[in-house]
Structure 1
Amino acid sequence: MDNQVFVLSLSNEGVDFGPETEQKEILQNVRTIISTTKYSVPLDRGFGVDATFLDQPMAVAQASISSEILRAVKQYEPRVTITGISFDGDPDGRLLPKVEVVINETE
């Protein structure tokens, strides 16, 4: 599949323990990775995105989180390639990453 798909860090979707397709599983995994704060998972403290960028100037925060997202997704969900990262904000002042991915062909 070579279509690009956007994954949002915050979503109203719950966890689907039996995704219907591999594509849904992969996208859910990416959403979980980019929504999880590093050091918060007891048996894998490296899982997720480092949040030390909090309270940094916006440009610094965006660069830091982009780097962290690239690292984490490459490590934990190698079935996708990130083709873009953009950011939205919310009324509470949170920086919300929007990650554009392509699901890699499987053998």
Structure 2
Amino acid sequence: MELDVTAQLGDVNFQPASTIEEILQNVRTILTTPVYSVPLDRTFGLSVTMLDAPVPIAQAKLTAEIIAAVHKWEPRARVTKVIYEGDAADGVLRPKVRVRIVGTG
């Protein structure tokens, strides 16, 4: 099963109704958390070092960063595709990540 997750902040559900909802919420948290912003785990999240790079380079680096971070922090999800929404001319990159749920029985 493959599902899309967008990098948009939202409410945290402390009692997800299903394992799938929990996994998707975890992936969304990874996508919206910059590295060094979590006090007790400075390595959690995505690096934002590519912010000033040209759009094609930023997309390539951010895609690699997303795949590595999701693999590390949410092993029940595998990234199968990253699509960017937004206006590249204005330098706006909003990743939409397609994940496959694995190992949930």
TM score, norm. by length of structure 1: 0.90
How big is the shift at 1:105? 2.9
C-alpha distance 93-59 of structure 1, shift in aligned 2 (>3 A): closer
Structure 2 unaligned runs (5+)? none
Higher relative contact order (Cα pairs below 8 Å, separated by 6+ residues): 1
* Percent of aligned positions that are identical: 48
The 3-state SS of whatever aligns with 1:41 is: coil
Superposition map of 1:61-80 within 5 A = 61-80=58-77
Corresponding residue pairs, total? 104
The 3-state SS of whatever aligns with 1:82 is: strand
What is the aligned partner in structure 1 of residue 27 from structure 2?
30
RMSD of the TM alignment (CA)? 1.6
Structure 1 unaligned runs (5+)? none
Partner Cα separation in structure 1 for residue 64 and residue 29 of structure 2: 17
Note the alpha carbon deviations across 1:67-100, whole angstroms, 9 max, x for none: 110111000000011110010116x743100000
Partner Cα separation in structure 2 for residue 31 and residue 81 of structure 1: 13
